[in-house]
């Protein structure tokens, strides 16, 4: 088994309307789809962890030289192209299965029930020192 992190971007896929502006029925359908998806992963034993992240306005960015005091800024900023909305960690037999799970997440319905096609980044967790050299 191999662990993968599926990173969900706030990029709305094929929908320009922020989720908080969707009709309640569309938002409910979207959340039910994702909830059912997570439950199937839980039942199959593939789910390790799933979490949504707080809104970007609550994020902080820390930079440090390790010598002087760290620099703390609010962020990410509105001009950021990628803002992480949440993640799902799975433990699966193959990369192909992780990609299949990501495709299911990407197909979550948006307004009018149209699949969002939201981008899901799939990343394998490093499992050994040998992985450090596999860039």
pLDDT tens, position by position, 14-49: 888 888 899 999 999 999 999 999 999 999 999 999
pLDDT at 135 over 60: no
Distance CA 33, CA 42 (A): 14
- Note whether 85 and 11 are within 8 A (CB): no
By residue range, what is the domain housing residue 79?
2-133
**Long-range interactions of 124-132: CB distance < 8 A, separation 24+:** 124/2, 124/3, 124/4, 124/95, 124/98, 125/2, 125/3, 125/4, 125/5, 125/89, 127/2, 127/3
What is the domain-level CATH number for residue 50?
3.30.70.1060
The pLDDT tens digits for 56-69 are 788 888 889 889 98
DSSP letter, residue 126: P
Q: Does position 130 have pLDDT exceeding 80, yes or no?
A: no
Mean pLDDT across the chain: 88
Instruction: Give me the number of domains the chain comprises.
Output: 1
Question: Could you give the CA distance from residue 86 to residue 124 in angstroms, rounded to a whole number?
Answer: 16
């Amino acid at each position: 088994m191999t662990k993968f992190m599926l990173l969900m971007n706030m990029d709305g896929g094929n929908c320009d309307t922020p989720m908080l502006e969707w009709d309640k029925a569309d938002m409910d359908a979207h959340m039910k789809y994702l909830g059912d998806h997570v439950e199937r992963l839980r039942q199959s034993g593939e789910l390790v962890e799933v979490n949504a992240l707080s809104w970007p306005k609550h994020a902080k960015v820390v930079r440090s030289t390790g010598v002087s005091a760290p620099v703390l800024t609010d962020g990410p900023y509105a001009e950021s192209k990628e803002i992480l909305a949440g993640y799902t960690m799975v433990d699966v037999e193959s990369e192909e299965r992780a990609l299949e799970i990501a495709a299911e997440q990407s197909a979550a319905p948006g307004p009018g029930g149209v699949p969002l096609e939201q981008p899901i980044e799939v990343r394998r967790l490093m499992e050994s020192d040998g992985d450090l050299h596999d860039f």
